[in-house]
Amino acid sequence: MDKANLPHGWKVYAPLLVLFAILVLLMPRSGKFNYDYRKGAPWMYETLVAQFDFPVLKTSEQLQAEKEQASSAVIPYYRYSDNIVNETLAAVRAAGLGKYDSLRSGIVRIISDIYAKGIIETGSGDLPDISEKDNDVIFIQREKRAVQVPASEVFTVVSAKERLARGTSGLQPGCNGDSLCLYSGIYDLLIPNLIFDRQTTDLVHEESVNFISPTSGVVNSGQLIVSKGEMITSEIEQLLDSYKAEYESSFGYTGPRVFLWMGNALIALALVVILFLSLYYTYWRVFASFNKYIYVLVIFLISFILAIFVEKADPAFLYLTPFVLIALYLQAFFKKRVVLPVYIISLLPLLVFSHNGLELFLMNLVAGVVAIYVFIYFNKGWQQFVTALCVFLVLMVVYLGFRLIDGIKGFDDYRTIFFMFLGSFLIVAGYPLIYLFERMFMLVSSSRLIELCDTNSKPLLELAHKAPGTFQHCLQVMNMADAAAKSIGADVPLVRAGALYHDIGKTLNPQCFIENDSTGTNYHQGLTPLESAKEIIKHVPDGLSLADKYGLPDEIKQFIVTHHGTTCTAYFYNKYINAGGDPDKADDFYYKGSKPKTPEQVILMLCDTLEAASRTLKDYTPKSISSLVEGVVRSKMEAGQFEDADITLRELNTIKSVMKDYIQQIHHARVVYPKRNPPVKGS
């Protein structure tokens, strides 16, 4: 596949058509209020006039203030007790008044008048504090009716006694009403007949808090909302918010439905095209890997579905949704130059279809960029919580920026802040899904590759124990391949893992290879060149069998198959020919592997050959090293080993330059330490 030309084949365009169809089907079926505005900014559109009647919605601050006011304004309910009144009057009629017995009927009448207004419960416990101010009221329930009366019109026990004393004194000149009521025990008979009803009070109070009207007025059709160029104040913003809510809930799209479908189709087409072009310009080789290609499309679709359906359920939950995971899911399988543009495109549905699209888009974009960088260094175990904390802090900074633009409006929205905090730490819970994606799409994540590079893994420990020379060779090849991969932007974790495992087949017969011959015995002594060649070549199929045994991914197996390609075991082939062998039977001296197809496989083939060949040099001058590197690369190209590889001549030249410098550094000359002269005797 050539980057200069667009990719061909149904495997490229059929998935795009399927994605396009899904996007069209999932898009909203109603229109959107197509005005963006912000308090403190001018109205940039034409003068807006109401096209229909709509209620003016109270702001969240107004509703909260009214709820707090309703919560603090508790109107108590009291039950009027006729039984207490009757019992008290009966007791008064039987009380001993002595020489003032003639005043009994008058006293009964006064008490009846007092009870008619009611004596209220006061004092300790959970009884409400009732003052006798004109603006305090209570409800009295009597005969299934609740009557609202001023608190000043009812009596407390103290005020009832005072009223009774004054009334009794007025019944007869010279009568001390207070003394008479005290010594006759009438004071003790005065008990409250208005009993506090806690259940009814709480029920009515709860209803008054919960059923506060969400509207504060009505704007009629034809009334001016905002003029072009007018500064958007708090009042105008409230009108615009109310108009927008009514438009989207009751009216929505009013044109022909076919136009709505066409508009959705054009937006979906734009998203699909820009996604395709971003892949083409940043990582065109992805089209050759069907599984990776489908994975990118699925990740984009997941982001689209989250933006659409979470917005439908509750826009506030968008602050809870961890869109940053999209960036990490992409980073697990792709290089950063691919991740960022695809992540930005994946956030576009959030910008287009969400109410606070700009705010949410910018918050998640900045948080995603930070997460991509931080996760490189904090990606293992508890360190992932550091990444989550960094994401939360970045979200808060951007959120604070928008709140400052709004004049700190809404910054005390602790629910949104909690959602952002929880959503940030959902990253830790959601990231392990990459292991599921690995299985579903048969991919190898960067985390998996890093795990494979652990030299304490069982296959590498066995290689180091049985074939230490080969193990050291693999380590050196890994370091060389690392430098080469970085120079051309190849997949570094992949080529490092491939380098460590490419010669794993030598574990089964380590003495066959010169780097493991520590005893000085020659394994190939007594073998014909053909037999020796077969033993050497056998390490490739042996490596594949061990890779299957240890469950190594297919990407690593490809390095085992391609690191020799279809080259010849030249040493034994030359011995065979020099001994008079038949050139027509030379096929047995060639590896039966595959030619490299990716830049990473080309790098490993070159590094493997150069690391071994560099040990045969007599001297390590820049000229000899350059000649070695040029010769190895030229021989591979002449043998057609790079015919199927997606690598350019520029990349090959870069790799050659890096290899020359690297070999020069690892074989640099050492300074000879001077010996100390022996001390002079007698000194």
Angle between helices 539-549 and 529-537 (to 10 degrees): 20
Q: Where are the beta strands (DSSP E) in 398-497?
A: none
List phi, psi (to 5°) of 125: 80, -150
Task: pLDDT band for 189, please (50, 70, 90 cuts).
Answer: confident
Give bridge partners of residue 42 from the DSSP assignment.
231
The 3-state secondary structure of 181-208 reads HHHHCHHHHCCCCEEECHHHHHHHHHHH
Q: Are 570 and 639 in contact (CB under 8 A)?
A: no
Question: With bands split at pLDDT 50, 70 and 90, how would you rate the model's confidence at 134?
Answer: very low
| Domain-wise residue ranges, the chain | 10-28+256-443, 71-210, 447-666
**pLDDT score for 175:** 81
Cα(276)–Cα(404) distance, rounded to whole angstroms? 38
Of the two residues 250 and 291, the one the predictor is more confident about is 291
**What value does the mean pLDDT take over residues 309-323?**
88
pLDDT for the residue 421:
93
133/584: higher pLDDT:
584
For residues 636-655, average pLDDT: 90
pLDDT at 586 over 70: yes
Which range of 94-103, 301-310, 528-537 scores highest in mean pLDDT? It is 301-310
Whether the CB-CB separation of 62 and 235 falls below 8 Å is answered with no
Q: What's the mean pLDDT in 21-42?
A: 77
Residue 216: its H or E element: strand 215-219
**CA atoms within 13 Å, Cβ hemisphere of 329:** 30
| Structure confidence at residue 557 as a pLDDT band (50, 70, 90) | very high
d(CA 362, CA 609): 49
Please say if the pLDDT value at position 678 is more than 80: no
Instruction: Give the mean model confidence (pLDDT) for residues 283-300.
Output: 88
Angstrom distance (rounded) from CA 60 to CA 158: 45
Angle, vertex CA 217, rays to CA 213 and CA 218, nearest 5: 125
Give the pLDDT confidence score for residue 564 in this predicted structure: 92
Category of 193 on φ-ψ map: left (φ > 0), alpha (ψ -120 to 50) or beta: alpha
The per-residue pLDDT for 445 is: 86
Out of 120-129, 463-472, 483-492, pick the least confident.
120-129
265 burial via Cβ count (<10 Å: 0-12, 13-18, 19+): middle
Q: What is the pLDDT of residue 406?
A: 67
Of 3-17, 82-96, 504-518, the range with the lowest mean pLDDT is 3-17
CA distance linking residue 478 with residue 607, whole number of Å:
8
Greater model confidence, 372 or 45: 372
Measure CA 485 to chain center.
31
**pLDDT of the residue at 133:** 46
Mean pLDDT on 237-256? 72
Mean pLDDT of the residues in the chain: 84
Q: Which fold has domain 447-666?
A: Hypothetical protein af1432 (1.10.3210)
Separation CA 598–CA 309 (nearest Å): 40
Q: Give the global pTM.
A: 0.64
Instruction: Tell me what pLDDT residue 114 has.
Output: 87
Within 8 A by CB and 6+ apart from 436, the residues are none
Q: Among 173-187, 349-363, 563-577, which is the least confidently predicted range?
A: 173-187
Is the pLDDT at 616 greater than 90, yes or no? no
Can you read off the two tokens belonging to residue 253? 């799209």
**pLDDT for 651 beyond 50:** yes
CB count, 10 Å around CB of 661? 14
Place of tokens 């991740």: 339
525 pLDDT above the threshold of 80: no
Which letter does DSSP use for residue 251 in this model? I
d(CA 424, CA 419): 8
pLDDT above 60: residue 9: yes
Q: Say if residue 69's pLDDT is above 80.
A: no
- Comparing 617 with 135, the larger pLDDT belongs to 617
CA dist 387 and 427 (Å) reads 9
Assign 382 a pLDDT band (cuts: 50, 70, 90): confident
Residue 21 pLDDT grade (very low, low, confident, very high; cuts 50, 70, 90) = very high
**What pLDDT score was predicted for residue 131?**
56
CA 405 – CA 37 distance, rounded (Å): 12
